[in-house]
Amino acid sequence: MITMLNFAVLAIATMFAVAAAAALSWMFLQIAFVLMQPATARRVPPRTELARGTAQLARAFAPNR
């Protein structure tokens, strides 16, 4: 009888440990996503001065001004 009680306690403790591990894993995953968000949230648009400058040069040296 004591053996069955020990086995039941072990099984219940294992279930609690699995639930706690899953909850901590999920929490750490959510924290990792929150910490990674600023790295991808601020996207700086590419600078287009070269393209504008190229268009101005093309107009400046166009044969029919």
What is the C-alpha to C-alpha distance for residues 62 and 64, in angstroms, rounded to an integer? Answer: 6
- Please provide the average confidence, as pLDDT, over all residues in the chain: 83
pLDDT of residue 14: 98
Stretches where the chain sits below pLDDT 70 are 38-52, 65
DSSP state of 63: S
Task: Flag whether the pTM goes above 0.75.
Answer: no
**How would you class 59 by CB atoms within 10 Å of its CB: exposed for 0-12, middle for 13-18, buried for 19 or more?**
exposed
pLDDT of residue 29: 95
